[in-house]
Structure 1
Amino acid sequence: MTKPEIPADPQRLREEIEQTRAELGETVEQLAAKTDVKARTKQALGDAGGRARQTLTDVKDQAAQAAGVVAEKASTAKQQLSEADLPAPVRRRLPLAAFAAAAAAVIVVVVVVTRRIRS
């Protein structure tokens, strides 16, 4: 190992010593941060919580969008049924069936999205 050159100028030597102290201080701070398990755990939990909240928001948005599509389709189906020439008992049962199908579609979308998030 070679010895570093020692500057002859005392002022330059002081500057190098100060620079070395600053670098050593930064290194010590970095090592201390790595050994602070409690702080690192809190940071990891905060990050995970943020990701979970974002995912939940995304799922809510997708579910609301799917519900809007289903509601629109149910409304269209109801309008078409009211305009159709069907006997009264059949017309009364069809909107209920359309609503049940729409609700089932929303449930399927929510289940699929939830499973994709968990995997």
Structure 2
Amino acid sequence: MTLSNGSGDHEALRDGIRQTRAELAETVQALANKADVKARIKGSASQVTGRLRGQAAHVTGQARAQAGERVGEVRSTVAGANRAVRRRPLPWGAGALAVAALAAAVVVLVMRRGQR
């Protein structure tokens, strides 16, 4: 530091100046970062994009898991229906024939109404 008569430790003054310059450089850099709105917006956008991608991956994983469960349930139901048809094919065949006849009757009625 400088004494009142002008003499002092020059090296200590130089160290103080270096430290002040370093602090000033950090402050200027921080202000420049705050002033760079475009970079801040890009940073925010990339954070939001990353978060949304993570959420989308999570939801997709859940949907696939649920779809897999439903496929298993449908396969089980179809297998049970196949077993039932193999055990007693006549009632199932008669039911299918009745449904086909009903569908044919509906088609004929619709076509007749369309011709009027």
TM-score by length of 1: 0.65
Query: Is there any run of 5+ residues in structure 1 with no aligned partner, and where?
Result: 1-5, 93-119
Q: Secondary structure at the match of 2:21?
A: helix
State the partner residue of 2:57: 57
Separation (CA, whole Å) in 1 of partners of 2:59 and 2:10:
66
Query: Is there any run of 5+ residues in structure 2 with no aligned partner, and where?
Result: 3-7, 97-116
RCO (CA 8 Å, sep 6+): is it higher in 1 or 2? 1
State the partner residue of 1:88: 92
State the partner residue of 1:43: 43
What CA RMSD, in Å, does the superposition of the two structures yield over aligned residues? 2.1
Separation (CA, whole Å) in 2 of partners of 1:91 and 1:71:
26
Percent identical among aligned pairs is 37
Q: Describe the shift of the 1:80–1:28 C-alpha distance in structure 2 as closer, same or farther (beyond 3 A).
A: same
Query: Residue type of the partner of 1:60?
Result: T
TM-score by length of 2: 0.66
Instruction: Give runs of aligned pairs for residues 1-119 of structure 1, distance below 5 A.
Output: 6=1, 8-84=8-84, 85=87, 87-89=91-93
Separation (CA, whole Å) in 2 of partners of 1:27 and 1:90:
88
- Give aligned pairs, total: 87
Q: Secondary structure at the match of 1:18?
A: helix
Give the 4+ runs in structure 1 shifted more than 4 A: 89-92
Q: Report the CA distance between 1:60 and its aligned residue.
A: 1.0
Larger Rg: 2
Q: Describe the shift of the 1:18–1:35 C-alpha distance in structure 2 as closer, same or farther (beyond 3 A).
A: same
Separation (CA, whole Å) in 1 of partners of 2:19 and 2:56:
48
